[in-house]
Amino acid sequence: MTDTAANSAALAAKPQTLWSTAWRQFRRNRLAMICLGIVAIYVGVFLYAESVYWFARLRDVVPSYKVADFAARNAHPSTAHWFGTDFAGRDNLAQLIQGVRIAFEIAFLTSAILIPLGFLLGALAGYFGRWVDTFIIWLYSVVDSVPSILSIISISYVVGRGMKGIVIGMGLVAWVGLCRLIRGEYLKHKQRAYVAAARALGAGHLTVMLRHIAPNVLHIIIIVFTLAFPRFILTEVILSYLGVGITGEPSWGVMINDAKQRLWLGVWWELGGATAAMFFLVLALNIVGDALRDALDPKLKTAEGSKA
Amino acid sequence: MTAYIIRRLFSVIPITMGVLLLVFVIYRVIGGDPAVRLAGKNATPQKIEQIRKTFGYDKPKFFNWQEAWQNTKPAFAQFRMEFARYRSKEVGVGTVFQAGFRLLRAPMAVFDSQFWQIVRQFAQLDFGKSLQSNQRISRMMADGVVPSLCITTPIFVIELFVAIALALLCAFYRNTWLDRTFVVISIVGMSISGLVYIMLGQYFFSFELGWFPVWGFEGVNYVLLPVAIGVIAGIGGSLRFYRTIMLDEMYQDYVRTAFAKGASHKQVLFKHVLKNAAIPILTNVVVAIPFLYTGSLMLESFFGIPGLGRMTVDAIYTGDEPVLFAMVFIGSVIFVIANLITDLCYTWADPRIRLQ
C-alpha cells in the first residue's frame, strides 16, 4: 500500500515530458519494438559498411565488395557466398551490405535538404502569415502540382546521374509534406499563451519561432523522417531503373536492375537478396514510423499511399 | 458560392504559371547549360555553340533587358525627331502617334527571352518537336494517350473499388484477426518495390508459364497482366489509406448516434460512414489522376506498351529534353485542373465549404 503510494508520488514528482509518455506508449507496442530492433541492426550494418568503404578508400585499395572473381560468376548461394555472386563474380552479400550504406546515405543527405527547407518555410508561413504565408503556400502548391516522380526524375536527370542527382531531386521535392505539417503547427502555437508571454517579455520573432515554438514541433520532424525514409529507398529503385540512379556503387536499385536480365536465365538470388534486404528495412521503418506517430501525435495527418 | 467558384477558377492561373516556371527552372537553370547536356560528352565548343543558336539557348533566360534597351533608344530618338518636325509643322499628328506607338512597343523586346518564348509557344499548344524522332510532341502525346489509359484506367478503377471494399470490411471487423491480416498484408505489400512485382510477374506468368504475351500492345490479352500487376502493387498502400479514413469516421459521434437509434451495422457502414468518407476518398482519387495520364512508367516500358509512360522513359534514356519538359508540364496542368474540379465538387457535396 505504502509502496504504491510512494511510487505514484515519485511519478508525480517526475515531470511527464512528451517524450517519456510517448516512449512508454511506444514500448507497449511489441511489434514496433521488434521493428525498432531491426532498424538498430541495420544501423549497425550501416556503420560496418561505412567503415569497410572508408578503410578501402583511405588505403587506396579495391574494396572487398568490388573484387571480381571471374571463376565464380553467377554462383549459386553457398557457404562461401551466402547470397551467391553476380555476373562479375562479386559477392552479393558484401554488395547488399554496401546497399545499406547507400540507402542510409541517401536518406541522411536528402533529409539534410528536406528538413531545413520544409521546417523553415513552414515555420515562416505559419508564424508570419499574410503575404509570407500566401507566397509559401503558392510555392508548395506549385511543387506539389508536379507529379512527384516526374519532378524527381527531371531534377536528377539535369543534375546528372549519381548520388548528387538523387539527393537533390528528392530533397527539393519531398519538403512539401513537412512544410505543410509545420505550418499547421505554427498556426496553432502562435495563438497559445506561452507565445504571447514570450513576446510580452520582449523576445524577438526569431527567438519565439526557433527557441519557444520549435521544440514543440520537433516530434513532427522525427515522424516525417521515419516515414519518408522507406519512400526514399523505393524511389531510388525507380530512379536506378530510369538510368538516373547511383553509378559505380552497389545500391539496391542498381542490383535489382542488374538482376533484370539474369532473372530470365534463372539467377534469382541477386533479385531475391536485394528485395529481401530492402523489404525488412522498409517494413520496419514503416511500422516504427506509424508507432511513433501514434505515440507522439496520433492526430497528425501524414500523407500515405505512394503512387509511382 | 458564385464568388467562391470564380475565385477558385482564377487561382489556377498563378499555379499554372508557377508550374511552368518551376519546370523551366529545372531544365534551364539548375542543370546548367542545356546545350552542353544535349551535345553529349565529347562535343566541340563549335557544336555546343551551334546547338545554343538553334534552340535559342543563347537568349537571356527571363528578361531581355539588353534588347529592350537597344530597341528603346532609337525609338525614343525617332519619336523626339518626329515630335520636333510636328512642332515645326513638317508632318501631321498621325506620324507622331505612329512614332509614339513604336516607342511604347520597343520595350516589349524585354520578353524576347527563353522563358517567355516557352510561355508563348505553350499558350498556343505548341510543344515543339522531339529531338529523337523529329515528330511534333503534341502528336506523339495524342498517340500515346490511348494505350496509357488502357492500362491505367482499369488499374485505377479496380484498385479503388477493391481497396474501399476491403477497407470497409477492415473497419467493420476492426481489431479482429481479419482486420489484422489485411493490415499485415497491405504493409508487407507496400514494402516491396514496384519494380520487383513487375519483374517477377513478367518472369512467372509470361516467361515460365507462358499465359500472357511478354511484350507488345495488340489486344486485350496484352493488357491483362500489366493491369493485374499494377493492382497488386498498388493495393497495399490504398487499402491502408482507406482503412485509416474509415476508422476515423467510425469513431465519430454520428456513428454512435446511428447505432443508438437502432441502425444495423450494414446501414451504418454503407449509409453513414461511406458517405462521410466520400470527401477524403475524393481527394485521394484526384491525387491519382495525373497517374492516369503519365501512365505507369515502369509497367509500360517493361511490357512494351506504346503509351506516355514509355515515351517518358525513352526520353530520359535518350536525353530528349523537349519531350520531358512537355510531359512534366502537361502532367502538372492535369493535376491542377483535377484539383480545381474536386474543389468545385466539394462545394456541391459539402455545403459547409460554401460558407467559408
How many C-beta atoms lie closer than 10 Å to residue B32's C-beta? Answer: 12
Average pLDDT estimate for B167-195:
87
Tell me the shortest Cα–Cα distance from B244 to chain A, in angstroms: 10
Nearest residue, CB atoms, B207 vs list A145, A264, A287: A264
Q: In this prediction, what percent of chain B has a pLDDT beyond 90? A: 6
Residues of B whose CB is below 8 A from A257? 195
Nearest residue, CB atoms, A159 vs list B30, B191, B207: B30
How many C-beta atoms lie closer than 10 Å to residue A59's C-beta? Answer: 9
The C-alpha atoms of residue B127 and residue B135 are separated, in whole angstroms, by 11
Closest chain A residue by Cα to residue B27: A158
Q: Residue A304: pLDDT above 50?
A: no
Residue A244 corresponds to which cell in the numbers above?
538516373
State whether B241 and A308 contact (CB < 8 Å): no
- Residue to mutate among B164, B191, B243, B281, with most A CBs inside 10 A, is B191
The C-alpha atoms of residue B204 and residue B113 are separated, in whole angstroms, by 53
- Residue to mutate among B38, B156, B186, B195, with most A CBs inside 10 A, is B195
Domain boundaries, chain A: 19-69+77-307
Domain A19-69+77-307 is found in CATH 1.10.3720.10:
yes
Q: In this prediction, what percent of chain B has a pLDDT beyond 70? A: 97
Q: Residue B293: pLDDT above 80?
A: no
State whether A271 and B196 contact (CB < 8 Å): yes
Tell me the shortest Cα–Cα distance from B204 to chain A, in angstroms: 9
Does residue B274 contact residue B306 with C-beta atoms inside 8 Å? no
The C-alpha atoms of residue A205 and residue A293 are separated, in whole angstroms, by 29
Give, for B345, the enclosing helix (H) or strand (E): helix B321-349
Q: Residue A247: pLDDT above 90?
A: no
More confident residue, A3 or B263: B263
Please give the pLDDT value at position A121. Answer: 93
Residues of B whose CB is below 8 A from A278? 191-193
The residue type at B11: S
Residues of A whose CB is below 8 A from B285? none
Please give the pLDDT value at position B212. Answer: 84
Q: Residue B267: pLDDT above 90?
A: no
Tell me the shortest Cα–Cα distance from A276 to chain B, in angstroms: 9
Q: Residue B236: pLDDT above 50?
A: yes
A14 to each of A11, A20, A21, how far by Cα in Å? 5, 10, 12
Number of Cα atoms under 13 Å in the Cβ half of residue A89: 7
A50-75 confidence digits (pLDDT tens): 999 999 888 888 888 877 777 777 77
Q: Residue B150: pLDDT above 80?
A: yes
Q: Residue A307: pLDDT above 50?
A: no
Q: Residue A38: pLDDT above 90?
A: yes
Interfacial B residues in 172-201 facing A (CB < 8 Å):
187-188, 190-196, 199-200
Average pLDDT estimate for B50-72:
82
State whether A139 and B317 contact (CB < 8 Å): no
- pTM for the full model? 0.86
Tell me the shortest Cα–Cα distance from A203 to chain B, in angstroms: 34
Average pLDDT estimate for B244-261:
85
State whether B18 and A147 contact (CB < 8 Å): no
A109-152 confidence digits (pLDDT tens): 999 999 999 999 999 998 888 899 999 999 999 998 888 888 89
pLDDT band at A1 (very low <50, low <70, confident <90, very high): very low
Average pLDDT estimate for A30-48:
92
3-state secondary structure of A298: coil
The residue with cell 523505393 is A234
Please give the pLDDT value at position B173. Answer: 84
Average pLDDT estimate for B230-246:
88
The C-alpha atoms of residue A223 and residue A292 are separated, in whole angstroms, by 6
Here the ipTM equals 0.83
Closest chain A residue by Cα to residue B237: A305
